[in-house]
Every structure is written in structure tokens, then in C-alpha cells.
Amino acid sequence: MDNRPIGFFDSGLGGLTCIPYLMKALPEEKIIYFGDTARTPYGSKATSTIMNFSREIADFLVMSNVKMIVIACNTVSATCLEDLRERFPQIPILGIIDPAAKKVAEDFGSDDNVGIIGTKVTIASKAYERCIDEHEGKVNIHEVACPAFVPLIEEGIIENDIMDLTIKYYMDDFVKNNDLDAVILGCTHYPLIKDNIKRIYPDLEIINPSSIIVNDIKKVLEENDMLADRSDFRNVFYASDLSENFINMIDHIFENESEEAKVKFLNFDLERGEGK
């Protein structure tokens, strides 16, 4: 048993899409979340920059005494997972890509077409394709980067024509030309536009890694005898720039919870993250 919190991080508010699933599956667990809202988006930046930012955040989470780190960001999982595991061998570190890749490898076969939408960095890394291969998946994979989604979502431009047009701009030909059966939301911001995608492409199955990873979190905690049984710790959400949307998202997540989230502002020295 281990009542320390689980550390989650993302480039911004996207990783928050994992939290309701975690709270439902493991209500005793507490969370420290860090959203790097001052430096989002990561998905079009150099790998060395993403690595510097991720190390800073992971250092902060480890100093905050978390028992596990969940990389609630596909871009960081695609580029920095092994580096962070080497840096902190003492705690389990989970990336968001592998659990969803495993599920796709199991659920789809050689007659199926599955699309992956994500940031430029995630798509260029081919991380999903690699993981699906490692799980001996036979499915046909098609990928497209959708770099305008994250800035719009961070601005809260979601339920309107601008977002719908942007989705169609990236996805119309992609869905049609590849005869897609399903699409993986390969960026943790994208569950926030899941309803738009479903409305525009009603026949497309949507695979959401933010919900799938929760089974793996549970499994790793169980295997290491690290499940919490009770905790006096309060959930804490940090942002490097406290945007109104970040606060609104947290209010939204905790709408039906008795628990009250604490939101804090924590700025890093941005100079240090700029190496390319």
C-alpha cells in the first residue's frame, strides 16, 4: 500500500482528460498534475527542447514525492519515455501510447484501417506504429498530423464552426481516402473534440488513449503493491501559466465531486528549456 500521489503531466490541459477515468476506476488515488501551459504546444518543437521541458517537470514531480509518473502527453511519450525512465529508475513511469497501441493490436486485424491523428512530433516519431508492431498487430495504419488542434483547444475554441472546419480540413480526405474504420486520438487534447469528430464522422470508431491508460495504471500499482487505501493528500493541479481555460477545465472535472481541487501557479525558468 502506498498513499503518495500519482504525478501526471502534459504540455497543457490535454492530460486532464485522463483524470475523470482515473477518479472513477481508482477513487482512493490522489493526483499531482502539471500542465506546462506557458510553453504549450510541444508538438511542433525540437525533441531536445521537449526533453529539457519534460526533465524539468519530472524532476519537480519526483521532488514532490509522487509514487508514479504518468506521461499524459503523446508527444512526450513518443520522444522522452526511455530518457525519463533512465533518469528515475526508482519509480514506475508510464507513457500513454503503449496501452492504446496494445488494444488496437488486439482488437483490429489485417482487414481493418485505423487512423492516427496527433501532433507533428508524435506522427513523425512513428511511435504508435512501432508499438502496434511490438504487440504483433496486423492492422493497416494511416497517420496524419493535425497541428492546429492544440492551440485552438487551449484557447477554448471547441464547440463552433472554426473547430469543425479545422477537423474537416485535416480529416475529410484522410478518413475517406483510407476508408478508415477507427481513429486513435493520438494527442491527449483531442478527447476534448471527440464529440465534434463523432458528429462529423458518425461511422468512425474513436479510440481514446486517455481512458485506456487507466487499466495499466491500476495493473502497475497492483503488481507493486502501491494502491492507495486512503489519503489525506489533496489533489493539486499546477500550471506554468494559469490560463482561464485551465481553471475552467478543472472546475468542469470536479463538477460532480465533493472534493475541491487546488490550482497553483508554478513557473519554470523558461531560458533553460530553449536548447535545440
Residues that bind ligand DGL (CB under 6 A): 10-12, 14, 40-43, 73-75, 119, 122, 150, 187-189
CB of 14 to ligand DGL, least distance (A): 3
3-class DSSP state of 267: coil
Burial zone of 247 (CB within 10 Å; 0-12 exposed, 13-18 middle, 19+ buried): middle
Q: Is 187 a catalytic residue?
A: yes
Q: Which is nearer to ligand DGL, 75 or 211 (CB)?
A: 75
Residue nearest to ligand DGL (CB): 43
Q: Which is nearer to ligand DGL, 70 or 226 (CB)?
A: 70
Q: Is 80 a catalytic residue?
A: no
Residues 6 or more apart from 200 whose CB is under 8 A from it? 164, 167, 168, 171
Cell of 206: 474513436
Residue type, 170: Y
Find cell 464529440 and name the residue. Answer: 195
Q: Which is nearer to ligand DGL, 58 or 226 (CB)?
A: 58
CB of 168 to ligand DGL, least distance (A): 20
CB of 260 to ligand DGL, least distance (A): 25
CB of 212 to ligand DGL, least distance (A): 13
Give dist(CA 10, CA 190) in Å, integer.
13
Q: Cα–Cα distances in Å, from 209 out to 64, 74, 155?
A: 26, 9, 22
Residue of 18, 73, 80, 131 marked catalytic:
73
Q: Which is nearer to ligand DGL, 112 or 216 (CB)?
A: 216
Could you give the residue numbers annotated as active site?
73, 187
